[in-house]
């Protein structure tokens, strides 16, 4: 295992040819690491001509399903237990949470991932960032954001899953310029602040980094909840995408038009229900091949999330592709067409919503 290094920190501002060149190199290193260190992939890829795999024919390699990851968890471990420094569990939105083991290198990679994601939406070392998500309970989210904020040089306020009253007190004392949290909770917090005859717009928060719930529709317009909290706080909202298993996060830049993929950290594909790779703009399941992971490296991991790739040039100057909003889960129930995590739709809709019937149905296809 070699120490993680942010060797390609500014690769997103390079041209597409340079990005492809770097990804070819990282893919080769990744495949070699899998064959040499992962019992699962040594078995799965046996007999395949791995040496001739490139970006163009990556689709010839098998997918890794979440069920396989959970079933053969120990076989995915590619580092000695002596190198494991943190163990977390996925949120388990579609079943039993998966155990994920991180090495020190993996945490350095995670910090870098969050740092460049936060920097992309305009957060700097001068900011004070209030974290309203947990840093304990075996979840990686709060830890990841803290590491990224620390790496960026900004100040973190780790108030976590606390009461609205506690958060208001912290806000009044620490004067954060950024809040990271679930949109529906940010909405709830804003309403609580208003109930104390305080205008959230006067508090000084400039950015709201929203996690865990959809913020935009397929056309990239803000959902009702997103518009509501943006107006309520007088701050810009930024949508994010994250996956515990792949140690990967993508965040919108200042253009607020999709989460920028980090080509030095992962390859992202979109596939249909038959496993065929789709073109940019087509909706399907998000598949991630993360680079530079030591503990539990993955290949073509099917996240179960539904989205699409945006490949048009971005006004921020980055050449990296972007991931559209999460439009749902491949196997979850839905609430009249909305993602079940998006409780903010209900919280924003007003009192009359509670008198309406909520219809849920299961769907197996995208």
Q: Is the pLDDT of residue 218 over 90?
A: yes
Kindly indicate the confidence band of residue 337, based on its pLDDT and cuts at 50, 70 and 90.
Answer: very low
Find all residues with CB under 8 Å of 209, minimum gap 6, and list them.
118, 121, 123, 178, 179, 180, 181, 238, 240, 251
| Structure-block tokens of residue 131 | 């974290």
- Give the model's pLDDT for residue 96: 72
DSSP per position, 86-125: EEEE---TTSSPPEEEEEHHHHHHHHHHHHHHHHHTT--T
Q: Is the pLDDT of residue 356 over 90?
A: no
The residue to which tokens 């803000």 are assigned: 222
Give the 3-state DSSP-derived string for 278-305, with helices as H, strands as E and coil as C. CCCCCCEEEEEEECCCCCCCCCCEEEEE
d(CA 40, CA 34): 9
Kindly indicate the confidence band of residue 363, based on its pLDDT and cuts at 50, 70 and 90.
Answer: very low
Q: 206 near 123, Cβ under 8 Å? A: no
Maximum Cα–Cα distance for the chain, whole Å?
Answer: 68
- Give the model's pLDDT for residue 140: 87
Task: Tell me the mean pLDDT in the region 340-348.
Answer: 42
What does the pLDDT look like over 189-216, one tens digit per residue? Answer: 999 999 999 999 999 999 999 999 989 9
- Helix %, strand %, coil % for the chain, to 5? 35, 20, 45
Mean pLDDT of the chain: 89
- Give the model's pLDDT for residue 92: 57
d(CA 242, CA 283): 18
- Give the model's pLDDT for residue 28: 98
What does the pLDDT look like over 87-117, one tens digit per residue? Answer: 998 765 556 778 999 999 999 999 999 999 9
- Give the model's pLDDT for residue 35: 97
Q: Is the pLDDT of residue 295 over 90?
A: yes
Kindly indicate the confidence band of residue 132, based on its pLDDT and cuts at 50, 70 and 90.
Answer: very high
- Give the model's pLDDT for residue 95: 61
Look at residues 316, 194, 230, 117 and name the one whose alpha carbon lies nearest to residue 129.
117
Kindly indicate the confidence band of residue 3, based on its pLDDT and cuts at 50, 70 and 90.
Answer: confident
| Structure-block tokens of residue 198 | 């305080």
- Give the model's pLDDT for residue 343: 43
Query: Where do the H-state alpha helices sit in the chain?
Result: 16-37, 39-44, 66-71, 73-76, 104-120, 141-152, 164-174, 183-195, 224-233, 344-349
Least confident of 9-23, 79-93, 161-175, 328-342: 328-342
CA distances from 241 to 28, 54, 166, 182, 189 (A): 26, 26, 27, 12, 22
Q: Is the pLDDT of residue 366 over 80?
A: no
Kindly indicate the confidence band of residue 244, based on its pLDDT and cuts at 50, 70 and 90.
Answer: confident
DSSP state of 135: S
Q: Is the pLDDT of residue 129 over 90?
A: yes
Q: Set out the domains of the chain in order of their start, with CATH numbers.
A: 11-362 (3.40.50.12780)
- Give the model's pLDDT for residue 1: 67
Task: Tell me the mean pLDDT in the region 5-26.
Answer: 94
- Give the model's pLDDT for residue 136: 79
Q: Is the pLDDT of residue 345 over 70?
A: no
Percent of the chain with pLDDT over 70: 89
Q: Is the pLDDT of residue 37 over 50?
A: yes
What three-state secondary structure class fits 155?
strand
Q: 103 near 1, Cβ under 8 Å? A: yes
- Give the model's pLDDT for residue 221: 95
Task: Tell me the mean pLDDT in the region 215-239.
Answer: 96
């Amino acid at each position: 295992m070699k120490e993680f290094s942010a060797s390609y920190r500014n690769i997103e501002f390079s041209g597409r040819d340079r990005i492809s060149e770097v990804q070819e190199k990282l893919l080769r290193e990744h495949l070699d690491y899998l064959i040499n260190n992962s019992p699962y992939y040594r078995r799965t890829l046996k007999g395949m001509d791995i040496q001739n795999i490139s970006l163009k024919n990556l689709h010839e390699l098998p997918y890794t399903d979440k069920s396989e990851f959970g079933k053969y968890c120990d076989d995915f471990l590619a580092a000695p237990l002596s190198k494991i420094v943190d163990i977390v569990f996925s949120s388990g939105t579609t079943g039993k949470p998966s155990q994920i083991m991180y090495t020190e290198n993996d945490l350095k990679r995670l910090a870098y991932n969050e740092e460049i994601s936060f920097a992309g939406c305009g957060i700097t070392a001068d900011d004070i960032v209030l974290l309203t998500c947990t840093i304990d309970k075996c979840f990686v989210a709060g830890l990841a954001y803290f590491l990224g904020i620390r790496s960026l040089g900004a100040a973190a306020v780790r108030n976590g899953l606390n009461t609205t009253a506690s958060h208001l007190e912290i806000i009044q004392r620490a004067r954060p310029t950024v809040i990271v949290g679930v949109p529906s909770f940010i909405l709830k917090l804003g309403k609580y602040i208003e109930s104390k005859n305080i205008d959230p717009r006067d508090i000084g928060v400039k950015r709201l980094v929203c996690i865990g719930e959809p913020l935009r529709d397929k056309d990239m317009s803000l959902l009702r909840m997103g518009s509501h909290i943006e107006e309520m706080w007088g701050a810009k909202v930024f949508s994010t995408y994250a996956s515990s298993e792949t140690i990967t996060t993508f965040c919108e830049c200042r253009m607020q038009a999709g989460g920028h993929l980090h080509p030095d950290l992962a390859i992202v594909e979109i596939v249909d229900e038959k496993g065929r790779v789709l073109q940019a703009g087509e909706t399907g399941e998000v598949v991630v091949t993360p680079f530079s992971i030591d503990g539990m490296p993955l290949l073509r991991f099917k996240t179960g999330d539904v989205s699409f790739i945006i490949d048009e040039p971005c006004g921020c100057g980055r050449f990296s592709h972007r991931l559209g909003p999460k439009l749902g889960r491949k196997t979850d129930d839905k609430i009249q067409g909305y993602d079940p995590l998006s409780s903010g739709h209900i919280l924003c809709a007003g009192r009359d919503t509670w008198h309406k019937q909520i219809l849920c149905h299961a769907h197996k296809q995208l």
